[in-house]
Structure 1
Amino acid sequence: MKRTFARYLPFTLTVLIAALDQFTKYLVVTRIPYHRVGWSFGGDLVRIIHTTNKAGAFSLGRTLPEPVRIFLFLFVPVVLLVGILVYFFRSDELSSLQRWALAGILGGGVGTLIDRFFRDAGVVDFIDVKFFGIFGLERWPTFNIADASIVVCSLLLLISFFIEMRKDSKERDHEQEA
């Protein structure tokens, strides 16, 4: 793929997600007292609540010593985001969907890293969803726009890789038959 405008267009999603993530966190921090529910939708199906997290997903690592948390939650994510950027720019084999998915992951990563570097209280989480006892959870762990973007875009990326692998496999089968 040539280095054209279309190749770099997915970075608009990166900027949009990081900006939306930070804007929504700003609204939560300035309008909802800490550990309080600000709004509820569908009864208590979805709640907007102000909380923070200095650990990883599902609060994993919250009891680790501070130097270990800094390494795991600041250094490692920066290295991963740089790796994604290098892959994005060096690979000519990524599909358009894969480029957009990587851009969404980058946007979520940037949004989270902004919190980790500039918010002493930790990453602001605010989307709280009822989970009806599935996996023993009454409520899914509270998350934010960046988290949702990373998860959704990672799933899209995985699905696209499986589709590409399947397509390549069928093409090889057709070539062997000929």
Structure 2
Amino acid sequence: MTDDRRPPAEEPVLPESTPTDRPADVPARPAGRPRTRLLLLLALGVLALDLVTKLVVVATIDMGEDVRLLGGALYLTQYRNVGAAFSFAEGWTVVFSLVAVAVAVVIVRTARSLFSSAWAVALGLVLGGAVGNLVDRVFRDPGFLRGGVVDFLSVFGPDGEVWPIFNVADSAIVCGGILGALLALRGIDFDGSRAGDQQRADAT
């Protein structure tokens, strides 16, 4: 009598799927949370510092007065700038006001896709500075979008003899712009990745 019992056939073992299994053409989601909070907090800090310093200067320093500090390395004064940062292109106040509005809108719209802390710092500085000077152009004389921005920092000489007079907002815009340019040159994207990372991954 033969034994017809056979061992049960082994079922094929399917590979376990992992969260990282995705089509090759679908980019991976950047790790971590968007750096929106860092951007906005830095922008608010720059804006607050800019507004406070301008209010103090207007309240304590008369037009044309120079306060010598640091042995002449820095002078405090009060000057109304109707141009861009560092008194560039005076007479284009309305144009620069509209540009500041456009810059602020673009940066805020970009914030949700921002995963790079360095880019958050760069754009936060630019946003805070742009809004700080925009407040002056909106609310100060001679009128809406044409107001003179309060500049008060003069280095190495009074009244902008060596370098154009500037303020905290101007400094933030320039520093943020320089940082952004360096990040772009290094190929760092808003999500924190480098421009060549995806190409190297595809090659492997």
Written as runs of structure 1 = structure 2, the 5 A alignment for 1:41-80 is 41=70, 43-62=71-90, 64=91, 69-70=93-94, 72-80=95-103
Q: Is the 8 A contact 1:125 1:143 kept in 2?
A: yes
Structure 1 consecutive aligned stretches of length 4 or more whose deviation exceeds 4 Å: 1-6, 173-176
Residue 139 of structure 2 is matched in structure 1 by: 118
Determine whether 1:97 maps to 2:100: no
Distance 1:96-1:36 versus aligned 2 partners, 3 A rule: same
C-alpha deviations, 1:128-175, integer Å up to 9, x for none? Answer: 0128xxxxx951100000000010011111112222359534774686
Q: Compute the displacement of 1:3 (Å).
A: 8.5
TM-score (norm 2): 0.69
- State the identity as a percent: 32
TM-score (norm 1): 0.79
* Higher-helix-fraction structure: 1
Q: Which runs of 5+ in 1 are unaligned?
A: 132-136
Distance 1:58-1:14 versus aligned 2 partners, 3 A rule: closer
Q: Is the 8 A contact 1:81 1:106 kept in 2?
A: yes
Q: Is the 8 A contact 1:127 1:142 kept in 2?
A: yes
Distance 1:61-1:168 versus aligned 2 partners, 3 A rule: closer
Q: Is the 8 A contact 2:63 2:79 kept in 1?
A: yes
Residue 170 of structure 2 is matched in structure 1 by: 147
Looking at structure 2, the residues matched to 2 and 85 of structure 1 have their Cα atoms a distance apart, in angstroms, of 21
Q: Is the 8 A contact 1:39 1:48 kept in 2?
A: yes
Q: Compute the displacement of 1:125 (Å).
A: 0.3
Residue 134 of structure 1 is matched in structure 2 by: none
Rg (Cα) greater in structure = 2
Q: Is the 8 A contact 1:38 1:50 kept in 2?
A: no
Which structure is richer in relative contact order (CA contacts within 8 A, separation 6 or more)? Answer: 1
Q: The residue matched to 2:48 in structure 1 has which SS? A: helix
CA RMSD of aligned residues (A): 2.8
Distance 1:95-1:3 versus aligned 2 partners, 3 A rule: closer
